[in-house]
Structure 1
Amino acid sequence: MSTELTFTYTTTAEEVATAFSEEIKGKNVLITGTSINGIGFETARVIAKYAKLVVITGYSEERLKLSEETIKKEVPQANIHRLILDLSSFASIRKAVELINTNPEPLHVLINNAAASFVDFTLTEDGLETQLATDHVGPFLFTKLLAPKLLAAGTPTYTPRVVFVSSEGHSFGTGVDFDALTKPDPAKYVKINAYAQAKSANILTAIELSKRSKGKINAYSLNPGGIFTNIHQNPNAIPVFKAMGILLPDGKPNPELGQWKTIPEGAATTVAAAFDPRLNDKPGAYLENSVVANEKVAAHSSDPANAEKLWNVTEKLIGETFAF
């Protein structure tokens, strides 16, 4: 791959996948959160053109089937597997991993894309606040349980990857509130704060996973950019976005905040994080506009002490420890 290759704000996922088609070939990839009109779907669509296997996940069988059918209309040869997964439920996560383990193939890339953003305060069946559970604790457990599959993909010339889709919103507030994580309190719950904490946790987890695996797994996090997706049409999220000025009173994107990305542009950075070979010596990196942008990470989201504490606290919450 030429080191002269450059990506910009307007680079699309299709362009990145084409550039790295040789890296994608032969790979088994799992992407969480792949409903149509989201960046997870677009990521799956462009990768499916070259990958050996793409596993798409979601909690709705109907929506998963629609995603698969839509991809196969364009890419008839795509090898797509559907997987029901509710990241707010430890039981659902374990059941999904059991199904994955029936396939003897290794897993080369895990993309933690799914999120439950700006939801009202509720507790999951495991006693966690739903947004932090779905966006951080669930993906942490899912990644932990899939670690053997990922490690099996490692070779002397290939290191498996885990990608966490974070957000510029990680910089809001002061980072992860460990009390909110371990002792959720509806009286203290603020949607935007929980969102920011979850996105901060994504970055910290990528940093610590890369560190603890000691070269066996490379993890990355990223900011896809400002994109008008199905999240912005979620009834729970619309009032929050309007209050923040992200959406106009009519619900449309606020152009005064700068150029909004299209979904293909927004998914580009995910594809780069998953396959750009130039990242091999940059484990734990944070990407923006498909390139490394560690300088854009807020201090509380890059602090090694925070990363270590979050890892230890989350292992206690799931009742399991990672093994590499």
Structure 2
Amino acid sequence: MEPHFTSETTAEDVAAVFATEIVTKNVLITGTSINGLGFESARVIAKHANLVIITGYNEERLKLSQDALQKEFPSANIRHLILDLSSMASVRKAAAEVNAYAEPIHVLINNAAAPLGKFKITSDGLERQIAIDHVGLFLFTKLLVPKLLASATPAYTPRVVVVASNAHRAAPAIDFSTLFQPDEKTFDTINVYGQAKSANILAMGELARRAQGKLNAYALHPRVIYTNTVHHPEMLPVLQQAGVLDQNGNPTPLLQWRTIPQGAAPIVIAAFDPRLNDRSGAYLEDCQIATETIAPHTSDPARAETLWKMTEAIIEEEFTV
């Protein structure tokens, strides 16, 4: 019987169903702090996978995640990698480390994202949220393509997964004339978040098109999840002002909240469900394909190509598959 997943499905449920798909795979997951979606994804995948690589920009927190995973699964092969997506130099250093591994990478899960918050400029002169959520992700993926393609066989196509959001629907369309020209006067953290998530979806659609079957790319909405990021000192007041959290930092009924295990479920589906093999470029929501729900400004191939070329100019490298 074909498995049927719903909004109530957990990542553990999905990993159990696809254990035979996971068992020989090497998986890299960005953004894996404890009490987050990346950590939960790593946890359920580590039970079965050949290798799980977890990343983060903070050595101490990353070590806590690795220790927690090894404690639960002593025989699991867990490797950690320092990766600061806000810095292109850090991205290049981390990618070089991965490319020096003996093993290929079967699945790249781009989960890390910047917290909502104050206007900040990175060392590369980019607005922080766009730098982390799109540019750093784009560059990291580009640099790991050879490692991903090395895992391909006649029976297996490597995958790239990005955790996006249905917040892209509420945000205005990406203004390409200002996307990479930070301006504090016009900065709105919620709008920038939505546009960054639009960029995630556009980029995965374009990657799927350009890859021509060499690798598969997917984007997804994990639903509204109460993760560790919610209490980031910059993000908490933003969410409170929006009425999403109360004065004590607890969820309000304004949104329909899901658990971390439920939020990680579509990530594991996108990474391993064999029924997606011929659906590269798909967008998942509530653990189902929901590509038809993508906002028009985020599903336009012409806009996807424009974004791709502009990002190539920013990283000063062509991204070819």
Measured in 2, the distance between the counterparts of 1:295 and 1:98 equals 37
1:202-281 equivalence runs, <5 A? 202-258=200-256, 260-281=257-278
Task: Look up the match of 1:71.
Answer: 69
Deviations 1:114-143 (A, max 9, x none): 000213111111111111000000000000
User: 2:117 touches 2:238 (CA, 8 Å); kept in 1?
Assistant: no
Deviation at 1:266, TM superposition (A): 0.6
Task: Look up the match of 1:31.
Answer: 29
Q: 1:157 aligns with which of 155, 158, 179?
A: 155
Deviation at 1:256, TM superposition (A): 4.2
User: 1:128 touches 1:181 (CA, 8 Å); kept in 2?
Assistant: no
SS at match of 2:251: coil
- Structure 2 residue 165 is the aligned partner of structure 1 residue 167: yes
What root-mean-square deviation, in Å, do the aligned CA atoms of Structure 1 and Structure 2 show?
Answer: 1.1
- Structure 2 residue 91 is the aligned partner of structure 1 residue 93: yes
Measured in 1, the distance between the counterparts of 2:62 and 2:254 equals 35
AA aligned opposite 2:272: F
Task: Look up the match of 2:120.
Answer: 122
AA aligned opposite 2:105: L
Measured in 1, the distance between the counterparts of 2:56 and 2:254 equals 34
Deviations 1:38-85 (A, max 9, x none): 000000000001111000000111111110111111111110000000
AA aligned opposite 1:177: D
User: 1:221 touches 1:285 (CA, 8 Å); kept in 2?
Assistant: yes
Task: Look up the match of 1:185.
Answer: 183
- Structure 1 window deviating more from structure 2 (127-136 vs 174-183): it is 174-183
TM value normalised by structure 1: 0.97
Q: 1:199 aligns with which of 177, 197, 209?
A: 197
TM value normalised by structure 2: 0.98
SS at match of 1:183: coil
User: 1:107 touches 1:149 (CA, 8 Å); kept in 2?
Assistant: yes
Deviation at 1:182, TM superposition (A): 2.0
- Structure 2 residue 298 is the aligned partner of structure 1 residue 301: yes
AA aligned opposite 2:277: N
User: 1:34 touches 1:56 (CA, 8 Å); kept in 2?
Assistant: yes
SS at match of 1:124: coil
- Structure 2 residue 295 is the aligned partner of structure 1 residue 282: no
Task: Look up the match of 1:11.
Answer: 9
Measured in 2, the distance between the counterparts of 1:237 and 1:109 equals 30
SS at match of 2:33: coil
Task: Look up the match of 2:130.
Answer: 132
SS at match of 2:84: coil
- Please, which runs of 5 or more residues in structure 2 have no aligned partner? none
**Between Structure 1 and Structure 2, how many residues are aligned?**
321
Deviation at 1:272, TM superposition (A): 0.3
Q: Percent identity?
A: 59
SS at match of 1:92: helix
